[in-house]
Structure 1
Amino acid sequence: MSNPLEKALYGDKLGITDIEALFDVDLWDLGMAAESLTRKYFGDVVTFIPNMILNYTNVCVIACRFCAFYRPPGHPEAYTLSVEEAVRRVEYVDKTFGIRQVLVQGGINPELGIEYYESLFKAIKARLPHVAIHGLSPIEVDYLARKHRMSYAEVLDRLRLAGMDTLAGGGGEILVDRVRREIAPHKISTGDWLLIMETAHRMGIMSNATMMYGHLETRRDWAEHLYNILQLQRRTHGFLSFTAWNFEPGNSELTRAIPYPKTSATLLRVVSVARLVFRNELPHIQSSWLSNGLDAARLALRFGANDFGGTLYEERVIPATGLSMPVLTRDDVVNLIRGLGLRPAERDNWYRVTKYY
């Protein structure tokens, strides 16, 4: 069977060349195929989680070319929240809106050791035991391992014991070292990112996978990225979800080379191919509205995505690019999903449905 779309639909194993060829298939054909698989696996249910993002610091020494959020140490706009202030923010958002998850993300701040994260996670759990901590990423795990001369497993174990429930998929960008050297030369390699994820999975710590497209990569790189994630998933079954998001030029250094973002059609193509590649081996595909926008995110729910992500209160990274973003409440998300003729369902951190609407 030579047609890559037929191979994907019939469940044949796809190589990198097959996945690359899928990206050239007509978008509507891709969408219909991906939609058919999504409805087969999930019916008309679309999940979401009420959550917030805790950007605890903007100090970072990695200096990714695509990031407009970070500030170097000593910069007048640099900040780091104390544990007490960070927990107070989580408590305020939970009291105001009601949340099930806090996504903890910041930067590689050389002033922070593992004790800061342990104190933060323990404090959140002590005061908000119903809120799951979706925390950090392989980038922080690698940094803490080098700083404290510990193994990846030791770092992950300490974070888990302190209250981290799942590991975030940040720092994945494109899992091709040539691309990584161009957009984030100080970040860990593809192999290290995958190794940290595999270590976490084998310890019983689930995570999500991400992909940032629309900068200096090629479609072949997209294919290699998805293939790398799928191969790890087949070994560990530790990825809960996959999220693709577009590079937002804004105020970052990379804007000089890439002044305009990709169109929404690119998001739909990536989401559709991800569904066809992952099928239900990596079951949950998020329709990220944060950088892609609400209209594109709604469409993605008809092109292979089955999860709308979260409400994302308090997010500060995307506004740093100059892009304005709405505040979505639980009711807003429910109405957006209903408007597509689909059934909203609230979920927990592990994608277990807690309430149907």
Structure 2
Amino acid sequence: MMSDIVERALSGEALDIGGIEELMKEDLWILGKAAAHLTESIFKGRVTFVSNMILNYTNVCTVACRFCAFYRPPGHPEAYVRSPEEAARAAAEVHHAFGIRQILVQGGVNPELDVEYYEEMFRRLKERVPDAAIHGLSPIEVDYLAKRGRMSYREVLGRLRDAGMDTMAGGGGEILVDRVRRIIAPRKMSADSWLKVMEVAHGMGIMTNATMMYGHAETVRDRAEHLHRILELQRRTRGFLSFTAWNFEPGNSELTREFPYPMTAATLLRTVAVARLIFRDLLPNIQSSWLTNGLEAARMAMRFGANDFGGTLFDEMVIPATGLHAATVTRERVVDVIRSMGMRPAERDNWYRVIAEY
């Protein structure tokens, strides 16, 4: 028997923040069943994935998020910056080995790097790996580059797009509630500013993805507000390609002292299910988030509303910095995992267009 709030969500009623909060407190198995029913009606048992890599071009960052174990301050003996040529060479090597279709460019706010650095890196990436899309940077870097160069968001995004950036990543979203952001990342841009960069990008035809990092200082109400704000922007712009949620991973970060234990996989499943019920086919692609939660949780997420496995994420360096072991997942491994769930694996490109079915 489904509750009134689940039935309302399943019927397509637009829920406010209070309604989403109520939904997030419902029975997990009922949420999963409702989300799975909705997902099946949209995707007919097909689960997509992309063969990609993460290009961590620098670990220098001045934002110093309390949950991040990857960053190093300027001048630290472990700090590094890859030159544009080094970055392009690394991408070419991974492409030669695995045939990637997406390069996720991820680093930090490095005060030594200006917009010209990113333009040169993107151009070289396009020269060396022309078949791979650049899914690059985040609103955090765009905001910094705008301030450094005294440019508007539109100017920065236009220059990055002209240099080769195809879509923009959703990093820095965390929880879009400023009270929470002041606790976990007091130097980071506000929730409104993050959403503003996304809205400008969408208005320019630059698609992005939406993210959420839960499991720290936020409440269930904060998670509901986060989802509602993403949904409201998507209604206006239709610019988000996908939604990915992951848990805060304690380990070597400062925030671990306050939140020493990670959330269970049940929180991921609940978040995925609620996201499916409120996003529906307006923001259809929901990833399983295997990197922080593991392959088994990712398998379950596909039963709770996720339709996309995500990427293979070759060369990822951020999660291992926490002390968590990150598995190497090949195209063949992903296909096997999806098939083991009785679902149809399909490889996609950066824009979620299916290019091969298995």
Question: Which TM-score band applies after superposition, normalised by the shorter structure?
Answer: over 0.9
CA–CA distance in structure 1, aligned partners of residues 123 and 88 of structure 2: 10
Query: Which residue in the other structure is 1:337 paired with?
Result: 338
Q: SS state of the match for residue 251, structure 1? A: coil
Q: Secondary structure at the match of 1:295?
A: helix
Q: Measure the CA separation in 1 of the matches of 2:282 and 2:98.
A: 33
Per the alignment, residue 206 of structure 1 pairs with: 207
CA distance in 2, matches of 1:187, 1:146: 14
CA–CA distance in structure 2, aligned partners of residues 266 and 319 of structure 1: 22
Instruction: Encode CA deviations 1:249-270: one digit per residue, 9 max, x unaligned.
Output: 1100000000010000110000
Give how far 1:4 is off: 1.3
Q: Aligned with 1:134: secondary structure? A: strand
Q: How does 1:9-48 map to 2 (within 5 A)?
A: 9-48=10-49
1:77 & 1:263 partners in 2: Cα distance?
32
**Matched letter for residue 73 of structure 1:** P
Distance in 1, Cα, partners of 2:298 & 2:249: 15
**Residue number in structure 2 paired with 1:356:** 357
Q: Report the residue type matching 2:224 in the other structure.
A: A
SS class of match (1:249) = coil
In the other structure, the counterpart of 2:326 is 325
Q: In structure 2, what is the Cα distance between the partners aligned to 1:28 and 1:211?
A: 22
CA RMSD of the aligned region, Å? 0.9
Aligned to 1:215: 216
Q: Distance in 2 between matches of 1:299 and 1:315?
A: 23
| Partner in structure 2 of residue 193 of structure 1 | 194
Partner of 2:274: 273
Runs of 4+ in 1 over 6 A off after TM superposition: none
Match of 1:111 in 2: 112
Cα deviation digits, residues 182-227 of structure 1 (max 9, x gap): 1001000010000000000000000000000000000000000000
Q: Distance between the aligned counterparts of 1:202 and 1:84, measured in 2?
A: 31
Task: Give the corresponding residue for 2:71.
Answer: 70
1:110-259 equivalent positions in 2, closer than 5 A? 110-259=111-260
Asked if structure 1 preserves the Cα contact closer than 8 Å seen for 2:89 and 2:128, the reply is: no
Distance 2:101 2:12 in 1: 35
Question: Following the alignment from structure 1 to structure 2, what is the Cα–Cα distance between the partners of residues 177 and 351?
Answer: 31
SS of equivalent to 2:104: strand
Deviation, structure 1 residue 242 = 0.1
Answer yes or no: is 1:290 the counterpart of 2:291: yes
TM-score (norm 1): 0.99
Query: SS at 2:165's partner residue?
Result: coil
Matched with 2:80 is: 79
Partner in structure 2 of residue 305 of structure 1: 306
Q: Please tell me whether the aligned partners of residues 216 and 248 of structure 2 are also in contact (alpha carbons under 8 angstroms).
A: yes
| 2-structure distance, mates of 1:292, 1:70 | 21
Quote the offset at 1:279 in angstroms.
0.7
One-letter amino acid matched to 1:40: S
CA distance in 1 between counterparts of 2:25 and 2:260 reads: 24
Name the count of aligned residue pairs.
357
- 1:98 matched residue in structure 2: 99
Q: Which runs of 5+ in 2 are unaligned?
A: none
CA deviation map 1:68-91 (0-9, x unaligned):
000000001100001111111100
Give secondary structure in 2 for the equivalent of 1:159: helix
Shift of 1:115: 0.5
Report the residue type matching 2:146 in the other structure.
A
Following the alignment from structure 2 to structure 1, what is the Cα–Cα distance between the partners of residues 163 and 52? 20
Q: Offset at 1:126?
A: 1.3
Give the letter aligned to residue 18 of structure 2: T
2:232 aligned partner, one-letter code: Q
How far apart, CA to CA, are the structure 2 residues paired with 1:196 and 1:325? 31
Q: TM-score, normalised by structure 2?
A: 0.99
Letter of the 1:86 partner, please give it.
A
CA deviation after TM superposition for structure 1 residue 325, in Å: 1.1
Secondary structure, aligned partner of 1:290: helix
Alignment check: 8 A CA contact 2:56 2:105 kept: yes
Question: Secondary structure in 2 aligned to 1:199?
Answer: helix
Deviations 1:144-188 (A, max 9, x none): 000000000000000000000000000000000100011001000
Q: Shift of residue 128 of structure 1?
A: 1.2
| Deviation, structure 1 residue 233 | 0.1
Q: 1:13, CA displacement in angstroms? A: 1.0
Structure 1 unaligned blocks of 5 or more = none
